[in-house]
């Protein structure tokens, strides 16, 4: 039984196996150690058979697969090797109906798919990743769940653009900030501690003046009342 491997550099290679192909072990054909992020990505109907592609949608940086896939997953990003199988049944888990997937079969299908995908018919293509809204895609057109991760397999989160941090969140000691505290305060419109103290003192003085003014008003009011009573 043959399966087709699409290596990460874009090369196509037929792999022959003596034993029956098991879907749950296809990741081994791609030389992966586990099934993490490995799954079926699309099924194409072609000449009475069904072509299924399996790949990882997350992986280490620089391991992106360079091969240009047919629609509807032509804008998706996958990592490492990918494996393609052929089946007489739309259900790829029907292992008894898996047939040889040769390089020649793939290339014949690939030419037609890339030249006019509509000829396959919408009912003949089954994708888990088609017709996603724009908010689910990155600026490069990839699904947001297709992350590139570093060598420690820690997913890198995207930095928020146009984010203006609070002055309290910025310190001149930060390795990412070369401005002085005074420059930061001027840039973000924040008052220094001295300025804030001066403002507070001024407010206190104004408050005391207001109290004195109110006392004078009350005294004048009392005099007026007495004058009115005894006049």
Tell me, letter by letter, the H, E, C secondary structure of the chain.
CEEEEECCCCCEEEEECCCCCCHHHHHHHCCCCCCCCEEEEEEEEECCEEEEEEEECCEECCCECCCCCCCCCCCCCCEEEEEEEEECCCCCCCHHHEECCCHHHHHHHHHHHHHCHHHHCHHHEEECCCCCCHHHECCCCCECCCCEECCCCCECCCCCCCCCCCHHHCCCCCCCCCCCHHHHHHHHCCCCHHHHHHHHHHHHHHHHHHHHHHHHHHHHHHHHHHHHHHC
pLDDT for 226 beyond 60: no
pLDDT, tens digit, for every residue of 169-216? 333 333 344 455 565 456 555 555 555 566 556 655 555 555 554 555
Domains in the chain: boundaries: 2-149
Residue pair 8/80 in contact by the 8 Å Cβ criterion: yes
pLDDT, tens digit, for every residue of 111-163? 999 985 443 444 455 554 455 566 666 655 555 555 455 444 433 333 333 33
pLDDT for 105 beyond 80: yes
Give the per-residue pLDDT at 230: 38
pTM > 0.85: yes or no: no
Higher pLDDT, 28 or 126: 28
Mean pLDDT within 97-117: 92
Mean pLDDT within 85-91: 96
Give the per-residue pLDDT at 115: 86
Among 62-66, 79-83, 91-95, 134-138, which stretch is predicted with the lowest mean pLDDT?
134-138
């Amino acid at each position: 039984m043959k399966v087709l491997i699409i290596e990460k550099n874009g090369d196509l290679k037929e792999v022959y196996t003596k034993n029956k192909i098991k879907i749950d072990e296809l990741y081994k054909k791609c030389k992966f150690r586990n099934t993490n992020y490995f799954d079926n990505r699309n099924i194409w109907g072609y000449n009475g058979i069904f072509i299924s592609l399996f790949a990882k949608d997350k992986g280490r940086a620089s391991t992106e697969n360079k091969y240009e896939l047919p629609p509807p997953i032509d804008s998706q990003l996958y990592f490492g090797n990918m494996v393609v199988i052929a089946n007489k049944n739309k259900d790829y888990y029907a292992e008894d109906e898996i047939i040889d997937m040769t390089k020649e079969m793939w290339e014949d299908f690939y030419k037609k798919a890339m030249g006019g995908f509509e000829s396959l018919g919408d009912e003949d293509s089954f994708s888990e990743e088609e017709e996603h809204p724009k908010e689910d895609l990155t600026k490069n057109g990839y699904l947001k769940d297709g992350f590139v991760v570093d060598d420690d397999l820690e997913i890198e989160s995207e930095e928020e653009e146009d984010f203006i941090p609070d002055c309290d969140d910025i310190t001149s000691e930060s390795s990412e900030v070369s401005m002085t505290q005074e420059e930061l305060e001027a840039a973000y419109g924040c008052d220094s501690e001295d300025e804030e103290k001066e403002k507070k003192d001024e407010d206190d003085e104004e408050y005391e003046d207001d109290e004195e003014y109110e006392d004078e008003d009350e005294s004048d009011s009392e005099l007026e009342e007495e004058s009115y009573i005894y006049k």
